């Protein structure tokens, strides 16, 4: 008589590698399907990703936290009036609405080295959790290097390119944006940072440098702040950004 099968889930022989990554690898199988536990984990991760996309930017809390830097703060909005139009019309998220344009023009900027924008992007959760923590490390570096910073801009329904317009209107040499990245199934809280030298509306991605996956389980706050500072300083020194600006930090001089 055949003994009843106690375990129907077949482990993947590469399962030991899962201890080195949060990626969904070596999940095992039950017959030709995923084990029930893994299928449920996938659905939970997908739910977290959707929650991140529709999360709200905690702009008042971020505004209060930014007071430590003693700089003016502007609340601005893209041309995307709500989340639905932001998701369906990416072009609207790249440009400022009329009120924001008037607000920044009326400031009559005297000119700065860097303009920093904080935008929700595709994960307000990421920005809510990480933006201020990174700035707390970055701002002292900029101050020590005598790099002047324009008023902060907190942007709702904003995509990466919106920082080009804010930087231009505030007459900054360089624009830096901290923004929520598109959530994945293992990370719904990744924040990205993009910088553009000589920002102006209409630039494309090759004009920008990107630092990605900023979060405690990815690129940590200290490492991210140091990388931003390096790229900001080099961009201002060489007067370039994007594909022409290389990250040579840590390389030996030969």
* Known binding positions for adenosylcob(III)alamin: 160, 181, 210
**How many residues are present in the chain?**
254
128 φψ region: left (φ > 0), alpha (ψ -120 to 50), beta (else): alpha
Tokens (6 digits) for 213: 């996956």
How crowded is residue 198: how many other Cβ atoms within 10 Å of its Cβ? 17
Distance CA 76, CA 166 (A): 9
Whether residue 207 contacts residue 116, with contact meaning beta carbons closer than 8 Å, is answered with no
H helix runs in the chain, sequence order:
36-53, 59-66, 83-88, 90-93, 98-106, 124-144, 162-169, 221-238
Residues placed in the known binding site: 160, 181, 210
Pairing of strands 112-119, 73-77: unpaired
111 φψ region: left (φ > 0), alpha (ψ -120 to 50), beta (else): left
How crowded is residue 187: how many other Cβ atoms within 10 Å of its Cβ? 19
């Amino acid at each position: 008589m055949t003994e009843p099968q106690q375990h129907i889930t077949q482990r993947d022989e590469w399962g030991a590698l899962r201890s080195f990554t949060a990626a969904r690898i070596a999940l095992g199988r039950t017959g030709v399907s995923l084990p029930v536990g893994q299928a449920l984990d996938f659905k939970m991760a997908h739910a977290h990703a959707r929650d991140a996309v529709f999360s709200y930017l905690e702009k008042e809390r971020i505004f209060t936290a930014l007071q430590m830097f003693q700089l003016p703060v502007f609340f601005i909005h893209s041309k995307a009036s709500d989340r639905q139009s932001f998701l369906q019309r990416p072009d609207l998220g790249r440009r400022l609405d009329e009120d924001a344009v008037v607000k920044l023009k009326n400031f009559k900027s005297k000119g700065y080295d860097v303009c920093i924008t904080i935008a929700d992007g595709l994960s307000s959760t990421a920005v809510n959790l990480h933006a201020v923590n990174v700035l707390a490390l970055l701002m002292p570096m900029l101050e020590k290097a005598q790099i002047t910073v324009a008023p902060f801009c907190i942007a709702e329904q904003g995509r990466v390119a919106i920082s080009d317009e804010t930087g231009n209107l505030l007459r900054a040499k360089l624009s830096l944006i901290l923004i929520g990245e598109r959530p994945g199934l293992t990370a719904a809280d990744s924040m990205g940072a993009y910088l553009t030298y000589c920002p102006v509306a209409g630039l494309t991605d090759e004009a920008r440098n990107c630092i990605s996956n900023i979060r405690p389980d990815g690129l940590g706050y200290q490492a991210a702040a140091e990388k931003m500072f390096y790229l900001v300083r080099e961009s201002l020194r060489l007067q370039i950004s994007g594909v022409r600006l290389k990250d040579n930090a840590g390389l030996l001089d030969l």
